[in-house]
Amino acid sequence: MSAAALQQLPTLPQGLTYDDVLLIPQRSPIRSRKSVSTKTQLTRRIQLHIPIVASNMDTVCEDKTAVAMAREGGIGILHRFCSVAEQCAMVQRVKRAQSFLIEQPRTIRATATKTEADEAFAWRGRKGGVQCLVVVDGERGRRVLGLVTPGDLTFAGDGDAIALHMTPLAQLAVSYDVDLSLAQARALMQERRAKHIPVLKRGTDELRYLITLSDIVKLTHNPAASLDAKKRLLVGAAIGVKADDFARARALVEAGADVLVVDIAHGHSDLCIDMVRRLKTDPATASVEVIAGNIATGEAAEDLIAAGADGLKVGVGPGSICITRLVAGAGVPQLSAVMDCARAAHRHGVPIIADGGVKTSGDISKAIAAGADTVMLGNMLAGTDEAPGRVLVKDGKKQKMVRGMAGYDANLSKAAREQRREEDVFAELVPEGVEGTVPCKGPLAPILRQLVGGLRSGISYCGAHNIAEMQARARFVRMSGAGLRESGSHDISKL
Ligand code: IMP
């Protein structure tokens, strides 16, 4: 045994994880779980209404998951197992999913035909893509002549000019106020029975923005949604630390990503520290929030924060599809890792994400009470309708695939995309991830609400009104194997 290891022997620290502990119930002033706040910080500057982040795995988070997460008040991180163009297109789809002032509404010339308009409505290749075209004068014109919707063209002939069927500008509700509030836009729509409001440059008929009823409805129904300054949904995107990842980062920032996640298996490495420093100092990326990981110690937190990280991702080995601890023998049980990293990060005002190993809403409560500001979920979201991937039928049940990003399956797909040989993957890769299936769970939103409901209960059991109070008050009790068995659901027939 090495001298260093021998010296450590008598004081070896013990690592604990979620199943080792419970939160001790405390006197609670909470009368209704609804009065509990789950607001939290994702990074120094980004606040969320619910502390849940969808993992940047290719079986968990593409644009559909990211849209659903942000609508519910969390956020999704788009995976990087695709080309830069594909990842940027996903960012743009999230950003276009809703907004208050649409900056570049789809336009059409007044002389275009119904057939051309039909193509423009179907622009995004799916129903509901564009429900209204702004009719303008000429090819690149910004002078608004009117609006046209699919309903206006129901009885039009294929060759009819749009001008014949549009609603002309004089009959439209318009605004010249670019600082229009949501309430004012809603009132104007109600008063004029309008579904769309063009916002024009003051004193002219030049187009600035378009406001749509469907966006207003979404903004009104989801007041907790995670939004940027333009009321578009927030979205994050993952990058690696290779030479070409900086170009990926620049493209993602340009496409509109609100936060970048520098995501590698061993985040406490010079490679990760250098990438964070570069992102935070290069003028092209310095303004975007940067999360770095994955780490498992306070020392790692200190080093990445010194490099400029605005958030940290904690978890080496707890993931459901992770075999790092078996392959490399390295890692820290997740509850201890969260506590150690939170202690260091919170001294600098930097939030942390507890990433991996969450199996129940109770685990979310424990992670947050231990100091995590948010939790990242992979497995628990992989079976939702929004998660990428096809539905398989296995043992007569509908399932979806979940796969570790450091496993054979994901790396074979990557090799195929990059036109590399499969043999090289088998020869070179030492996989630290595996693949499996999870039951289909239906839409994501109700699943999230259940998880958040469980967390609200957990906060209340700690006698707290919010996450900060929970973290200040929480007391854990360690439990034995018998305690853990007692905690599970009981089979009444055997009692
Ligand atoms: P889960 O919520 O327990 O499924 O854990 C999800 C987390 O596992 C992800 O957010 C990643 O941090 C981690 N992860 C994803 N793929 C791999 C892998 O191949 N090896 C190790 N960890 C992985």
Read off the pLDDT of residues 396-406 as tens digits, 9 standing for 90 and up: 999 999 999 99
Distance from C-alpha of 171 to C-alpha of 443, rounded to nearest angstrom: 40
**Domain count of the fold of the chain:** 2
Read off the pLDDT of residues 221-263 as tens digits, 9 standing for 90 and up: 888 999 999 899 999 999 999 989 999 999 999 999 999 999 9
Does ligand 1 lie within 6 Å of residue 267's CB atom?
A: no
Residues facing residue 175 across a β-bridge: 199
Highest mean pLDDT among 9-18, 426-435, 450-459: 450-459
Which of the four pLDDT bands, split at 50, 70 and 90, describes residue 358? very high
Does ligand 1 lie within 6 Å of residue 322's CB atom?
A: yes
Q: 329 vs 422, which has greater pLDDT?
A: 329
Q: 326 alpha carbon to ligand 1 midpoint, in Å?
A: 14
Mean pLDDT value across residues 124-148: 77
Task: Give the model's pLDDT for residue 222.
Answer: 87
Please report whether residue 488 resides in a domain: no
Check whether residue 397 and residue 322 sit in a common domain.
yes
Does ligand 1 lie within 6 Å of residue 374's CB atom?
A: no
Check whether residue 92 and residue 115 sit in a common domain.
no
Check whether residue 158 and residue 66 sit in a common domain.
no
> How many C-alpha atoms does 52 have within 13 Å on its Cβ side?
36
Check whether residue 34 and residue 158 sit in a common domain.
no
Does ligand 1 lie within 6 Å of residue 319's CB atom?
A: yes
Does ligand 1 lie within 6 Å of residue 376's CB atom?
A: yes
Q: Is the pTM of this model over 0.85?
A: yes
Please report whether residue 446 resides in a domain: yes
CATH code, 31: 3.20.20.70
Please report whether residue 10 resides in a domain: no
Check whether residue 356 and residue 328 sit in a common domain.
yes
Does ligand 1 lie within 6 Å of residue 55's CB atom?
A: yes
Please report whether residue 402 resides in a domain: yes
Read off the pLDDT of residues 418-438 as tens digits, 9 standing for 90 and up: 888 888 888 889 999 999 999
Measured in residues, the chain has a length of 495
Q: 56 alpha carbon to ligand 1 midpoint, in Å?
A: 9
Q: For a pocket test of ligand 1, which of 17, 53, 57, 77 has the largest count of ligand atoms closer than 8 A to its C-beta? A: 57
Atom index in ligand 1 nearest the CA of residue 380 equals 2
Distance from C-alpha of 24 to C-alpha of 140, rounded to nearest angstrom: 65
Active-site residue, from 322, 341, 374, 384: 322
Lowest-pLDDT choice from 69-78, 98-107, 438-447: 98-107
325 among the known binding-site residues?
yes
Please report whether residue 68 resides in a domain: yes
Last residue of some domain: 199, 221, 243? 221
CATH code, 132: 3.10.580.10
Nearest CA to 377 among 400, 403, 359? 359
Task: Give the model's pLDDT for residue 354.
Answer: 98
Check whether residue 377 and residue 311 sit in a common domain.
yes
112 among the known binding-site residues?
no
Q: Which ranges constitute the DSSP H helices of 61-198?
A: 63-72, 84-97, 114-121, 182-192
Which residues contact residue 10 at a Cβ distance below 8 angstroms, ignoring those fewer than 6 apart?
none
Mean pLDDT of the chain: 92
Task: Give the model's pLDDT for residue 313.
Answer: 98
Which of the four pLDDT bands, split at 50, 70 and 90, describes residue 3? confident
Active-site residue, from 107, 113, 212, 324: 324
Does ligand 1 lie within 6 Å of residue 53's CB atom?
A: no
- The residue with tokens 């290719």 is 58
Check whether residue 201 and residue 261 sit in a common domain.
no
Please report whether residue 179 resides in a domain: yes
Q: 460 vs 104, which has greater pLDDT?
A: 460
Task: Give the model's pLDDT for residue 48.
Answer: 98
Task: Give the model's pLDDT for residue 491.
Answer: 58
Please report whether residue 447 resides in a domain: yes
Beta strands in 240-383 (DSSP E): 259-263, 289-295, 311-314, 352-355, 374-377
Check whether residue 333 and residue 469 sit in a common domain.
yes
83 among the known binding-site residues?
no
Please report whether residue 57 resides in a domain: yes
Quick check: is 88 catalytic? no
Check whether residue 296 and residue 187 sit in a common domain.
no
Q: 23 alpha carbon to ligand 1 midpoint, in Å?
A: 25
Mean pLDDT value across residues 364-384: 98
Task: Give the model's pLDDT for residue 140.
Answer: 67
Last residue of some domain: 171, 196, 221? 221
Pairing of strands 196-200, 435-439: unpaired
Mean pLDDT value across residues 385-395: 92
Mean pLDDT value across residues 203-220: 89
Helix axes 84-97, 63-72, angle to 10 degrees: 30
Check whether residue 264 and residue 172 sit in a common domain.
no
Check whether residue 417 and residue 441 sit in a common domain.
yes
Q: 297 alpha carbon to ligand 1 midpoint, in Å?
A: 18
Residue 134 three-state SS: strand
Atom index in ligand 1 nearest the CA of residue 406 equals 19
Q: 324 alpha carbon to ligand 1 midpoint, in Å?
A: 10
Residue 397 three-state SS: strand
Domain that holds residue 197: 107-221
| In the predicted structure, residue 126 carries a pLDDT above the cut 80 | no
Check whether residue 241 and residue 375 sit in a common domain.
yes
Last residue of some domain: 170, 187, 221? 221
**Containing H/E element for 341?**
helix 334-347
